């Protein structure tokens, strides 16, 4: 995430529809990672205020700006679509005349836009199923009285999410029931997207052999593995080999949990960097991960940069967790990064970046941490 600002000087945040300082309409062009005040240019078209380009790039508001989704994304003027990229991915929504569903949909769509914004930054392919049968779609569905339960999951590019996951009380109950330390809408979306991108980036590619070495053989019976996990729980030593209890259930789940962690870490570090949060003087001392934790030691500069981000996250997580505890809140980052998990995270990083790995930026000085 980036730090945005209106031309009037007021800070802008990712979901803003208006500037709270000057009242300007605010919108986001996700492909250019631009968010700011926009001005009308006639015929329903808008342009970013103060844009130097002439003629300026023109946009239309997403139709869902004025609907329950409260979407602030833009559609390029030369595109025929009425909906932005994010809204065009939503295939099913719950009945909005039922209690809480309008508020739920607003929260789900906001989390989806934030998640997709990170994926666009990583230059990952995002193609709606309406454009390509192998593409992506989201079904936001409600479990109705007397009807079948809605289970959150992924199948052939369709990510289904029970809209009740937008309710704090529902997530808290299931967090306790399933023994989870972390359960958020963004976490669900990133996890299920991990399954989708496994099909896109790993299945039937040269990555598959290395995947099986690190995560295990995904051809193991998935239904049996999940049944065993829910009946017996994870192995006793799971904390030394996996990022979460659920990651131990099956190689696919290990990948999806690791993928989600990669996005959590990257998004968090990019955000604190954008807001210039300086942890370089933090008195915490850590033992940095060595190059033996990397999936691939080459190129050396890229591996060192990746480990710099991981070591920074260890310190940042400790600071954020202590801050949350001082407010009586649960830990913001309730995970422990171990060496096998870091290796898997680096594998995910290599799969995502491919030949762009050598251009991984080093951590900024403000995120540099002292080692012992």
Q: How far apart are CA 356 and CA 103, in angstroms?
A: 40
DSSP category for residue 364 = P
How high is the mean pLDDT in each 10-residue block of the chain (372 residues)? 89 95 95 92 90 82 94 93 94 93 95 95 93 95 91 95 88 72 89 96 93 96 94 92 94 97 94 87 86 88 90 93 94 93 96 62 58 44
Say what the pLDDT of residue 357 is: 40
Grouping H, G, I as helix, E, B as strand and the rest as coil, residue 38 is strand
> What is the reported pLDDT for 178?
67
pLDDT confidence of residue 365: 63
Q: How many CB atoms are located within 10 Å of the residue 134 CB?
A: 12
| Whole-number pLDDT of residue 366 | 63
* CA 127, chain centre distance (Å): 17
Instruction: Return the SS3 of 23.
Output: coil
Determine the Cα–Cα distance for residues 252 and 46; give it in Å rounded to an integer: 44
pLDDT of residue 356: 43
Domain map of the chain by residue range? 4-83, 85-198, 202-372
> Considering the entire predicted model, what is its pTM?
0.91
Beta bridge partners of 191: none
**Per-residue model confidence (pLDDT) at position 158:** 97
Query: For residue 167, what are the β-bridge partners?
Result: none
Please say whether the beta carbons of 310 and 345 come within 8 A. yes
State the Cα angle at 296 between 308 and 285, rounded to 5°: 25
Q: Omega before 299 cis (within 30°)?
A: yes
140/164 Cα distance (integer angstroms) = 9
Measured between alpha carbons, how far is 85 from 212 in angstroms, rounded to an integer? 34
Could you give the CA distance from residue 93 to residue 114 in angstroms, rounded to a whole number?
18
pLDDT confidence of residue 181: 77
Element (H, E) at 91: strand 90-92
φ, ψ of residue 92 in degrees (nearest 5):
-140, 135
Q: What share of the chain is helix, strand, coil (3-state, %, to 5)?
A: 45, 15, 40
> Exposed, middle or buried, 237 (CB in 10 Å: 0-12/13-18/19+)?
exposed
Integer angstrom CA distances of residue 263 from 6, 114, 116, 238, 348: 27, 11, 11, 21, 10
Alpha-carbon distance of 271 to 354, in angstroms, equals 23
pLDDT of the residue at 369: 57
Sign, CA dihedral 287-295-183-173, equals negative
Q: What pLDDT is attached to residue 179? A: 67
């Amino acid at each position: 995430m980036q730090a945005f600002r209106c031309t009037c000087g007021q800070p802008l945040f990712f979901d803003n529809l208006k500037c709270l300082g000057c009242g300007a309409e605010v919108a986001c062009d996700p492909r250019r990672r631009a968010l700011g005040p926009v001005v009308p240019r006639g015929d329903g078209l808008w342009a970013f205020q103060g844009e130097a380009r002439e003629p300026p790039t023109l946009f239309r508001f997403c139709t869902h700006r004025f609907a329950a989704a409260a979407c602030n994304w833009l559609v390029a003027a030369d595109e025929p679509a009425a909906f932005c990229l994010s809204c065009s991915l939503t295939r099913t929504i719950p009945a909005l005349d039922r209690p809480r569903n309008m508020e739920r949909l607003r929260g789900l769509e906001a989390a989806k836009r934030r998640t997709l914004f990170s994926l666009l930054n990583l230059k990952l392919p995002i193609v709606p199923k309406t454009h390509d049968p192998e593409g992506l779609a989201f079904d936001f569905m409600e479990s109705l009285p007397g009807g079948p339960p809605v289970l959150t999951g992924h199948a052939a590019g369709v990510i289904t999410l029970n809209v009740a996951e937008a309710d704090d009380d529902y997530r808290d109950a299931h967090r306790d029931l399933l023994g989870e330390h972390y359960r958020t809408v963004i976490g669900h979306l990133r996890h299920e997207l991990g399954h989708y991108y496994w099909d896109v980036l790993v299945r039937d590619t040269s990555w598959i052999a290395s995947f099986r070495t690190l995560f295990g053989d995904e051809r193991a019976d998935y239904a049996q593995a999940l049944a065993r996990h829910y009946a017996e729980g994870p192995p006793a030593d799971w904390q030394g080999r996996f990022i979460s209890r659920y990651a131990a259930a099956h190689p696919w789940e290990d990948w999806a949990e690791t993928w989600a962690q990669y996005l959590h870490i990257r998004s968090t570090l990019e955000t604190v960097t954008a807001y210039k949060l300086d942890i370089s003087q933090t008195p915490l001392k850590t033992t940095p991960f060595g190059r033996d934790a990397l999936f691939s030691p080459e190129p050396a500069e890229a591996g060192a940069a990746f480990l710099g981000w991981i070591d920074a996250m260890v310190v940042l997580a400790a600071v954020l967790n202590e801050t949350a505890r001082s407010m009586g809140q649960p830990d913001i980052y309730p995970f422990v990064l171990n060496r096998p998990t870091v290796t898997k995270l680096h594998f995910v990083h290599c799969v995502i970046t491919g030949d762009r790995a050598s251009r991984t930026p080093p951590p900024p000085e403000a995120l540099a941490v002292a080692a012992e």
